[in-house]
Amino acid sequence: METEHWAEAERLYKIIDRQFSQSLSLDARAYIDYAIASAEIFQNNVAPAQQRLGKFFMKNSEYRKSKSYWRAVFALGSTEDPPSMIIRYEGALKQSPPPEIDRQLRFSCAQIALGSTEDPPSMIIRYEGALKQSPPPEIDRQLRFSCAQIALGIGDNKRARFYFDSIIKDKVSDYKQTAAIKYLRILDDGGLETYHSKTSASAKGFP
């Protein structure tokens, strides 16, 4: 597994599973099923991986108590479409996971939503929830910039200004800073609707 020889890892773990599973501890058995499923996922054998990971989510499954349970949540989520992944991760959040897992689940939901068709107000709520979990600096900056853009688009100018200001205060020279400066000028000039009105009038040759 460590050297990414997925087929060989799958073969060897399956030998252990067949020959020794009855004598292994719960945590060891759960890890082996997780490891086999992971190797299958990396080889694009999604269906058998999903079936094997299903052991973790059956009603009254003893695997729910294992150390590999949260790994299985993320592994199974990685095989699903974005809306299903968010549903799975939000369901996991309701199970009161350890703080680090809780944080990772929230980050994952926010990152998935970045490319989703979720309605703008819900996206802002999701991103602001992720910001409260103290994400790494680059993710924090991306979440704030996304909140600013969405807020600007729906006419929440106060919120947009707050986040664009925070992007500029980072003093990081990148496209986000350039865009934040531009958008703040638009806000100073009356907001996005005023900007579009002026642009439209100019295009038509009006003074």
Residue type, 100: E
pTM: 0.59
Q: Can you tell me which residue has the tokens 């806000």?
A: 187
pLDDT value of residue 127: 82
Residue 105 belongs to some domain of the structure: yes
State how far the Cα of 124 lies from the Cα of 39, in Å rounded to an integer.
Answer: 36
Please, where are the H alpha helices in the chain?
A: 6-20, 26-42, 46-53, 69-77, 82-93, 99-114, 120-131, 137-153, 157-169, 175-188, 192-203
- Residue 11: inside a domain: yes
- Tokens 């997780």 locate to 34
pLDDT for the residue 194 = 59
Burial class for 68, CB neighbours closer than 10 Å (0-12, 13-18, 19+): buried
Number of domains in the chain: 3
Q: Are residues 124 and 183 in the same domain?
A: no
Of 106, 135, 164, the domain-final residue: 135
3-state secondary structure 153-177: HCCCHHHHHHHHHHHHHCCCCCHHH
The answer to the question of residue 171 being in a domain is: yes
Say what the pLDDT of residue 206 is.
38
Q: What is the pLDDT of residue 114?
A: 62
Q: What stretches in the chain show pLDDT beneath 70?
A: 113-118, 191-207
- Do 107 and 123 fall into the same domain? yes
Q: In this structure, are 168 and 183 located in the same domain?
A: yes
Amino acid 203: pLDDT: 37
| Per-residue confidence (pLDDT) for residue 68, from 0 to 100 | 93
Of 39, 55, 73, the position where a domain reaches its end is: 73
Predicted local distance difference test score (pLDDT) of residue 17? 93
* C-alpha count within 13 angstroms, C-beta hemisphere, residue 186: 25
Give me the pLDDT at residue 141, please: 86
Q: Residue 122's domain spans which residues?
A: 80-135
